[in-house]
Structure 1
Amino acid sequence: IEEHAGKAKVLHEQWAREREGLEQLTTLKRELEGAEKLVAEAQKQGDMGRVAELKYGVITEIARQIEEENERLTQLGTENRMLRQVVEEADIAAVVASWTGIPVSKMMESERERLLRMEDSLNDRVVGQDDAIAAISSAVRRSRSGLKDPGRPIGNFFFVGPTGVGKTELAKALAEFLFDTEKAMIRIDMSEYMEQSKVSTLIGSARGYVDSERGGILTEAVRMRPFSVVLFDEAEKAHPEVFNLLLQVLDEGRLTDSQGREVNFANTIIIMTSNVGSRKILDLTGNVSGDELTDQVKLILRDHFKPEFLNRLDDICVFRALNKDAIALIVDIMLRKVHRMLAEQRLTMTVTDGAKGFLAEVGFEPEYGARPLKRAIQNYIQDPLATELLEERFVEGDTIVVEVNESGDALGFSKAEAKA
């Protein structure tokens, strides 16, 4: 509380200084306008002495004071300014962002530049799934260039593959890329809609029933955040009625809730995930071409989902099993989170190549993708390092070196020697 109170005091003092400066500036500008009007009147009356007095005395002094006040405000800085006299492009973008959910940074950044580097940005977080990333990126570019049906969602995708290979992670990465936050991903767990009686909760209970005024879980989420990635997780577990409900969304980009309100899905990306065909994917990855693998999985999907549903999808993206090379790359991605957590405590960490190789080895289980690696980082880095921090072996400003211990069965931690 004391820390927040201190920050609040600093912010209030900054706000007071800026307000005082802007009020002073406004007063000076009014005085300048008044003096200029007096000059005009004196000129009409032919009183040149009065004109000279105003121009070279009063107006010159006011202009000097305005310049001084502007200089003082400039010294307060521009990046973290709380008040401004002039409404700028960024201010308008911030207001529109609050209405639409499109983040300021994305509205200000060049659309063209953002779209052209989309694959690179997504590949920074998701490894080994180039085909899926390419399909998603192409759909977004079609939408932004006006080459899609304006009534349909930006894209309708089915992500199919074993557990832990990046299906949900790609949906999160896409939400962050397009809308600047993972919170722009709306996740619907299809295992909760196995019974027909649960399906109606997606659009809300009919009038007169309990909780009818609350709206549907799906429709209300999209109505409140129309620019979003909507993830239907474990689609194979949903009751068939769910897909009948979603046909309208996939085809027309809209859905009517129980209150009769039409919810627009035209600015959403619809993603469904499934583990159907995982055994086939694990067996065939690396042994057949990508096209052949996709064809085999599509045959399996036809046994589980109706053709009218599958035909409304823009693409079925088959996520391949991760190999050791992919896991080695994911080690660096997962370690970034640990680096960020340590940075909050003003600590840095250096992980040797040997330690990274150790984590990749103990965290490699093809059937479970990257999830064993997450556990390995927790067991071999986060848990023992937590103990070391509580024992105060490391303090603010230290660099922690992580390397394989002498026996080769665990990781050790040491403090980097300070540079002379």
Structure 2
Amino acid sequence: MAAFQGEQRRRELAERRRFPLEQRLREHIVGQEGAITTVGAAVRRRENGWYDEEHPLVFLFLGSSGIGKTELAKQTARYLHKDVKKGFIRLDMSEFQEKHEVAKFIGSPPGYVGHEEGGQLTKKLKECPNAVVLFDEVDKAHPDVLTVMLQLFDEGRLTDGKGKTIECKDAIFIMTCNAGSDEIARYALQLRQEALEMNKNRLAENLNDIQTEEITISKQFKENVIRPILKAHFRRDEFLGRINEIVYFLPFCRSELSLLVLQELNSWAKKAKQRHDITLIWDRDVMDVLTDGYNVHYGARSIKHEVDRRVVNQLAAAYEQDLLPRGCTLRIAVDDKGNGADEDGLKRAPRLRLEIVEQGSEGRRLDIMEPLSKEDTTFS
């Protein structure tokens, strides 16, 4: 038995050398090199026995919504556990905003309603004590829930409502938090703007040492701006002291946004082919127009919504109006007629159009009817 376990361990180590965690994360997450490197290094220490066995590994992920915090936690669990359903535990902390909801967390004590059911966390940790546990939006949790979490992080064990102790020193705990996300976004955008100006000057002076779009959060910003925000929010130094790594997620740069747009368009092209036998292609400037729809507060979700609003809505309308013959090639292009100004004199974003690509022709524009307005549907 021992020989089998030793051989299995050797095979796992060889597999991880061939496909390190960082490689897996980069396949699923756009950008966030700093976060990927930090998490990969910490997990490697733990997996190879170079860690404090008395305490679990604890991360705090900071940054705006929709930039990969949850996905990084999920892919880490997928890397470490064959059964990801057991190995990844996700708790939405907005469900634990009231004092009495501590019982939902660890289970009700004897004599109370729900005693036999157990807590949402304790029940799952019993099944997989070395799971990756995600506490999503921990800034919304009640202070009494944070007290339970402090015991969990400090001692690596948790006592449930029945009085039973669950050992979970081998678990990895990840908290996501939106506190300070606006400050991080502003600071990162400022650094990128400064790097852009510097590169322009270097190009003008014919210098070759052009900087990449990668930026680094300074220690002064972490200590002078972010730490006071976290202390004011969590109100206890010992809670912050039990966090092994505070990981910063930054807004996307232009090249990363282009990659997100490409992924989204490729996804819809695949669906169009599978569901309707339609080949979907697009011009290069379409990607630039969609990239301009990025909202720093909503991250990758804003790109997804922009593609839905400006491309998929037209596809669905054209399909409903029977304008898309099966087996056709459909091109997305920028409509020059969509330029100009709106009623307030502001520059209007270019419109996108759909064209049927026929052999030997430039493309036939689809005449998609607009949905009826409220006035059109009002009967006298």
Taking structure 2 as the reference length, the TM-score comes to 0.72
Cα distance in 2, alignment partners of residues 181 and 333 from structure 1 = 27
Aligned partner (choices 288, 294, 305) of residue 375 of structure 1: 305
In the superposition, relative to structure 1, how do residues 314 and 380 fare at CA in structure 2: closer, same or farther (>3 Å)?
A: same
1:206 aligns with 2:145: no
Name the CA distance, whole Å, in 2 between partners of 1:407 and 1:149.
Answer: 64
Partner-residue secondary structure (3-state), 2:233: coil
Q: Is the 8 A contact 2:64 2:296 kept in 1?
A: no
Could you tell me which amino acid in structure 1 is paired with residue 68 of structure 2? Answer: G
Change (3 A) 1:182 1:375: farther
- Aligned counterpart for 2:290 among listed residues 338, 356, 359: 359
Q: Greater helix percent: which structure?
A: 1
1:324–1:364 CA contact under 8 A, matched in 2: no
Aligned sequence identity (%): 34
Please give the root-mean-square deviation of Cα atoms over the aligned residues, in Å: 3.1
1:170 aligns with 2:72: yes
Change (3 A) 1:403 1:301: same
Within 2, Cα distance between the matches of 1:265 and 1:223? 9
Deviation at 1:330, TM superposition (A): 1.9
Distance 1:221 1:336, change over 3 A: farther
Counterparts in 2 of 1:388 and 1:258: CA distance versus 1, 3 Å: same
Name the structure 1 match of 2:209. none
Rate the CA distance shift 1:298–1:406 in 2: closer, same or farther, 3 A: same
Alpha-carbon offset, residue 336 of structure 1? 4.5
Unmatched segments (≥5 aa) in structure 1? 1-91, 97-105
Change (3 A) 1:418 1:210: farther
Of stretches 263-272 and 376-385 in structure 1, the one that deviates more from structure 2 is 263-272
Q: Distance in 2 between matches of 1:173 and 1:399?
A: 35
Task: Name the counterpart of 1:413.
Answer: 354
SS class of match (2:60) = strand
Could you tell me which residue of structure 1 aligns to residue 217 of structure 2? Answer: 290
Match of 1:268?
Answer: 171
Larger Rg: 1
Whether 2:51 is the aligned partner of 1:148: answer yes
C-alpha distance in structure 2 between counterparts of 1:334 and 1:121, whole Å: 20
Go from structure 1 to structure 2 and tell me whether the alpha carbon gap of 1:336 and 1:130 turns closer, same or farther (over 3 Å shift): same
| Superposed CA offset, 1:204-249 (max 9, x none) | 1112211111110111233344454321122122111112111232
Q: 1:308 aligns with which of 234, 238, 242?
A: 238
Q: C-alpha separation between the residues in 2 aligned to 1:179 and 1:190?
A: 24
Point out where structure 2 has 5 or more consecutive residues left out of the alignment. 192-215, 339-349, 361-380
In structure 1, C-alpha distance between the alignment counterparts of 2:249 and 2:148, rounded to whole Å? 26
Using the size of structure 1 for normalisation, the TM-score is 0.66
Q: Which amino acid aligns with 1:297?
A: I
> Looking at both structures, which has the greater relative contact order when contacts are Cα pairs under 8 Å and sequence separation is at least 6?
2
Number of residue-to-residue matches in the alignment? 313
Superposition deviation, residue 311 in structure 1: 0.9
SS across alignment from 1:334 = helix
Q: Which amino acid aligns with 2:59?
A: F
> Are residue 236 (structure 1) and residue 166 (structure 2) matched?
no
Q: Is the 8 A contact 2:104 2:120 kept in 1?
A: yes
Q: How does 1:247-262 map to 2 (within 5 A)?
A: 247-262=150-165
Matched position secondary structure for 1:214: coil
Question: Amino acid of the residue matched to residue 175 of structure 1?
Answer: A
Q: Is the 8 A contact 1:179 1:227 kept in 2?
A: no
Aligned-pair CA distance for 1:273: 1.2
Indicate the residue corresponding to 1:193 in structure 2.
Answer: 96
For residue 157 of structure 1, report the CA deviation from its aligned partner: 0.6
User: What SS is found at the alignment partner of 2:353?
Assistant: strand
CA, structure 1 residues 264+417, in 2 after alignment: closer, same or farther (shift >3 Å)? farther
1:216 counterpart (119, 137, 146): 119
